[in-house]
Amino acid sequence: MRTTRSVPARPVLITALALATAGSLLLAPGAAGADPRPVTREGSAVDDRAAQAPASATRRALTADVTTGTTTRAYPRRLLLSPDPRNPADTSLKLGLTPYHAIAPKLNALQRLGDRVSVEVTGRSAGGHRLYLVTVTAPETLRQARAQERMRELIRDAPAAAATSREIKRAYKTPVFVNNNIHGNEWEGTDASLKTIERLATAKDAKTRDLLAHSRLYFNITANPDGRIAGTRANANGFDLNRDFVTASQPETRAMRQIELGTQPAVLLDLHGYVNGTLIEPTTPPHGENYEYDLFLKNTYANALGMESAVNALGYTPAKDGVEAAQIPFRDQEEGWDDWPPIFTPQYAAFHGTVAAHTVEIPLAVNNEEYDDLPVTELRRRSAINTAVAGAAIRATLTHVREHRGTLITDQIEVFRRGATGAAQVPVSPETVPGVPGIGPEDVYTTRFPRAYVIPPGGASTQRSGPAAARLVDHLIANDVRVTRATRPFRLAGRTYPGGSYVVDMHQPKRGMANVLLADGRDISGTVSVMYDISGWSLGRLWGATVERVPSGSLRGAPLRAIGEAAPVARVPAHGDLSLPLTDPREIAALNSLLRQGVPVRRAADGGVVVPASARRAARTAARDHDVSFTATRQTGTAPLHRLRIAAAVTPGELFALREMDFDVTPVSTAVLNAGFDWSGTDVLFVSAGLEHAALTAPARRALDTFLDGHGLVGRGATGADLNAATGRLAVKPVEGNADANGVVKVTNTGGITRDAPDHGFVYAPLWFTDPGPGVRVEQSYATGNPLVSGHWRPLRDGTGGPAAAAGQASVVSGGNTVLFGTEPLFRDHPKGEFPQVARALFTVAHSASVKESG
């Protein structure tokens, strides 16, 4: 299953209802039956301001409240889209599907069909393409639209009152979200949605009128236009968007998150491919322990049965069409397609009140080798079937919503009620979830929520990193978690916390979202034999901030004030030389910005850097842009630093993280080096993927070896260790653990590169080092005992490769101008608190090489 399934991703925070571009008003085109309301002409491109902005601007963009009455508008909301240039290279064309450049004209035409279709631009992809949200609903006046927003907020913020509201039962429109094409080379959901929208725009039957009078249907037309055009799973940054929801590093992910938070869907479909027969969630164990799984399973299974029936009713057969009967993993499989991590669209949605959420894998493969090798006629036959299957899933879901909207909204209210009151979760059983067959103890996953989490403020002796704390607080708020701040010192559960501390009260509607981000998680290695993707992800352990879990106690009378963003960290003393710690990626970015300007920065004995008083103005700019704090120092510093030029054979996530820290990076690979790479502008090589010494041509190998004779190497994982061995640098023996293992691990830091690093790291296919030779320093080791805190890490069948074998062994080693990592400190741009280890390694090996060269 791990090799066949494509998994969904999760959405973003600003309400899509407020993101249409501004522009001049035009009279609506006069199609038959068209609504004569004004149409907004698309103005300048909507950009993703949070993507590249300084930390302070990013914070404002991520926490902006766009659900207020000032942004509520009536329906339909017309937006006249400017066309995109025709692109004959769009991979959709070969399949007979809608190319990206045809989507804007199609949406313009759909808006002209009547008064039910609205189009908005929710942002731009990493590659600069517009992201389109279509809303289909019966027309609403401004007053009616405001009433819908008020009821939506009542459901979330006052669920007890919402549960008894006659207005909600009578007039609230059930929100439904259909997400398409999050994996770019799984195309057909887009076309199925366009066909559905066209049918709904003009249908006159009573069932359609009833559906649209009592529902808002939201269609994210293509979540990944970069991949749709290029025929790739990932976006233009190389990210699988369906793995990015915990981190939200990509603009497309943030746009989806905003749609989810702004629309609060009760039902969600995420359309994928390709698994034959069609795979329809709910999934196999383990099940996410932080959401209300009894409500999720009840509604998701009921809708899955309807989709299964609709798909099978299309009449496709294995013999005639190559199409197997649809399957529901919860019912039909043992394990391998779980819903444990919140990185997939449906699982992330569950934390925002979605009670029926599905990944749907349509059946016939048309991507990868099939795309390259099959005849066009066969590809188009398969795509037509896939489009029909996706359309059947959508139609069945809309039928389910029309027939069960009362139950769906009642259960969504109950999700928020349990969170707000601190009520216990309800374990699934045949009694608590009637009508779902085969429920057993293997399906029971619950957790014990703490009373609160406390994040001490920057500057407090108990806070490891002020920038990390601020970033974590802003990320919580961006995910609609309520955070308060203490106006003065207070006591909780027998302990005194300083004023300025951030408090996450776990009696809140989205307690599951708070806990899934902050909690350690669980070691589930003994629960199932295989997991679909990552099994541990804790921001409380991996993002670099000190987070205190408070199991019990009372917040009554605590001096807490609700906040919309973290307090700024930026500070620069008025006099003297300045010290900047290097314990957070924002501090690394600030350092690199100073080096870019030619500021004479020197290493400090405490692991940070010294900036001269003469550069105070530049320091102030860096502090403001990156939200970091400088302190006064009497240190003179040691070796000077210079801006590094890095050649990197790394994963897309690592490349993105390096650039996030403002390093000057040039991607390389075996092919790039074989084509003749000019090493003269490079200071250090970072290798973790895509570079094999044995596959290099003789000239490329000589050039690489010559470069490494006088320059630094940072290696990560098996690929980095192999290059180290091939070039005869560090005398260590790399040992590969179970390649399927991943999670949060406890580590012991003993070296300068890991100085002040968190005592937890992340592993994915873990590696460790034994038999260190002369000159090899152990910078970090896996903790003794069982180093795995949360995740899935089993020994191999022969008993090797497990956490017991890694316990106490070196996870990071260094020597001369080489550093090797057995952990994954930059994984998918996620473990932010680990980033500085890589930055320090790069500066260390570059400095060692320059000292060696000058010596």
Q: Which two tokens stand for residue 292?
A: 């209300």
Distance CA 468, CA 614 (A): 28
777-782 vs 742-749, strand pairing mode: antiparallel
C-alpha distances in angstroms, 103 versus 30, 82, 223, 342, 383?
21, 11, 13, 30, 18
Domain assignment of residue 305, yes or no:
yes
Of the candidates 300, 291, 361, the residue with the CA atom closest to the CA atom of residue 326: 361
- What pLDDT is stored for residue 3 in this prediction? 32
Cβ neighbours of residue 619 closer than 8 Å, sequence gap 6 or more: 572, 578, 580, 594, 611, 630
Distance CA 613, CA 151 (A): 56
- What pLDDT is stored for residue 2 in this prediction? 25
- Residues 185/371, Cβ–Cβ less than 8 Å: yes
Domain assignment of residue 10, yes or no:
no
Of the candidates 327, 290, 279, 330, the residue with the CA atom closest to the CA atom of residue 436: 330
Angle between helices 376-421 and 206-213 (to 10 degrees): 40
Computed from CA positions of residues 30, 34, 36, 39, in that sequence, does the dihedral angle turn out positive or negative? negative
The H or E element containing residue 849 is helix 835-854
C-alpha distances in angstroms, 525 versus 238, 337, 728?
30, 15, 36
Domain assignment of residue 478, yes or no:
yes
Q: Which two tokens stand for residue 565?
A: 């963003």
- CATH assignment at residue 748: 3.40.50.880
Catalytic residues: 369
Distance CA 498, CA 463 (A): 11
Instruction: Tokens 């608590």: give the residue.
Output: 432
Residues 557 and 626 in one domain: no
Domain assignment of residue 426, yes or no:
no
Annotate 783-811 with DSSP letters as a single string. Answer: PSS--EEEEE----TTS-SSHHHHTTSEE
The SS3 of residue 148 is helix
Cβ neighbours of residue 440 closer than 8 Å, sequence gap 6 or more: none
- CATH assignment at residue 378: 3.40.630.10
Q: Which two tokens stand for residue 396?
A: 């069945």
Residues 595 and 548 in one domain: no
Instruction: Tokens 């704090």: give the residue.
Output: 629
Annotate 188-245 with DSSP letters as a single string. Answer: HHHHHHHHHHHHHHH--SHHHHHHHHSEEEEEES-S-HHHHHHT-SS-TTS--GGG-T
Q: Which two tokens stand for residue 417?
A: 């009620």
First CA to last CA across the chain, in angstroms?
55
C-alpha distances in angstroms, 243 versus 518, 582, 592?
18, 28, 29
Of the candidates 341, 328, 329, 330, the residue with the CA atom closest to the CA atom of residue 240: 341
Residues 205 and 289 in one domain: yes
Mean pLDDT, contiguous 10-residue spans, the chain (855 residues): 31 33 29 44 45 46 36 90 98 98 98 97 98 98 98 98 98 98 98 98 98 98 98 98 98 98 98 98 98 98 98 98 98 96 98 98 98 98 98 98 98 98 98 96 97 96 97 98 98 96 98 98 96 97 98 96 98 97 98 98 95 98 98 93 97 98 98 98 97 98 96 98 97 97 98 95 98 96 98 96 98 97 98 98 86 50
Helical H runs in 72-122?
103-111
Annotate 435-458 with DSSP letters as a single string. Answer: T-TT--GGG-------SEEEEPPT
The H or E element containing residue 405 is helix 376-421
Of the candidates 810, 734, 822, the residue with the CA atom closest to the CA atom of residue 778: 810
Residues 412 and 476 in one domain: no
The SS3 of residue 409 is helix
Q: Pick from 530, 562, 594: which residue ends a domain?
A: 562
Residues 816 and 694 in one domain: yes
For 645-672, letters b (16+ CB in 10 Å) and e give ebbbbbbbbbbbbbbbbbbbbeebbbeb
Domain assignment of residue 1, yes or no:
no
- What pLDDT is stored for residue 847 in this prediction? 82
Of the candidates 621, 625, 572, 582, the residue with the CA atom closest to the CA atom of residue 599: 621
- What pLDDT is stored for residue 56 in this prediction? 52
Q: What is the DSSP letter of 629?
A: B
Find the length of the chain.
Answer: 855
Distance CA 26, CA 184 (A): 34
574 by Cβ neighbours in 10 Å (0-12 / 13-18 / 19+) ranks as exposed
C-alpha distances in angstroms, 165 versus 413, 439, 577, 804?
11, 33, 62, 56
Could you give the number of structural domains in the chain?
4
Distance CA 654, CA 267 (A): 34
C-alpha distances in angstroms, 346 versus 178, 310, 341, 791?
11, 21, 10, 20
C-alpha distances in angstroms, 579 versus 126, 146, 303, 375?
35, 51, 59, 64
Residues 551 and 689 in one domain: no
Largest CA distance in the chain: 85
- Residues 654/821, Cβ–Cβ less than 8 Å: no
Cross-strand partners of 41 = 80
Q: Pick from 400, 419, 438: which residue ends a domain?
A: 419
Distance CA 218, CA 258 (A): 12
Distance CA 223, CA 241 (A): 9
Distance CA 299, CA 301 (A): 6
Domain assignment of residue 824, yes or no:
yes
**Identity of the amino acid at 354:** T
Residues 102 and 214 in one domain: yes
Distance CA 747, CA 810 (A): 9
Please state the separation of Cα 113 from the chain's center in Å: 36
Residues 671 and 615 in one domain: no
Query: CA 486, 487, 492, 494: dihedral to nearest 10 degrees?
Result: 130
Residues 778 and 705 in one domain: yes
Of the candidates 12, 232, 239, the residue with the CA atom closest to the CA atom of residue 830: 239
The SS3 of residue 489 is coil
C-alpha distances in angstroms, 74 versus 70, 78, 107, 147, 839?
12, 10, 19, 11, 50
Give the residue numbers spanning the domain of 105.
16-42+75-419
Cβ neighbours of residue 132 closer than 8 Å, sequence gap 6 or more: 81, 103, 104, 107, 119, 120, 121, 122, 220, 221, 222
pTM attached to this predicted model: 0.93
Residues 624 and 649 in one domain: no
Q: Which two tokens stand for residue 408?
A: 């769906």
816: left (phi over 0), alpha (psi -120 to 50) or beta: left
Of the candidates 736, 722, 742, 740, the residue with the CA atom closest to the CA atom of residue 811: 736
456 by Cβ neighbours in 10 Å (0-12 / 13-18 / 19+) ranks as buried
Domain assignment of residue 488, yes or no:
yes
Q: Which two tokens stand for residue 364?
A: 């016939």
- Residues 855/845, Cβ–Cβ less than 8 Å: no
Q: Pick from 517, 538, 562: which residue ends a domain?
A: 562
14: left (phi over 0), alpha (psi -120 to 50) or beta: beta
Residues 149 and 179 in one domain: yes
Residues 770 and 733 in one domain: yes
Distance CA 185, CA 226 (A): 10
Domain assignment of residue 467, yes or no:
yes
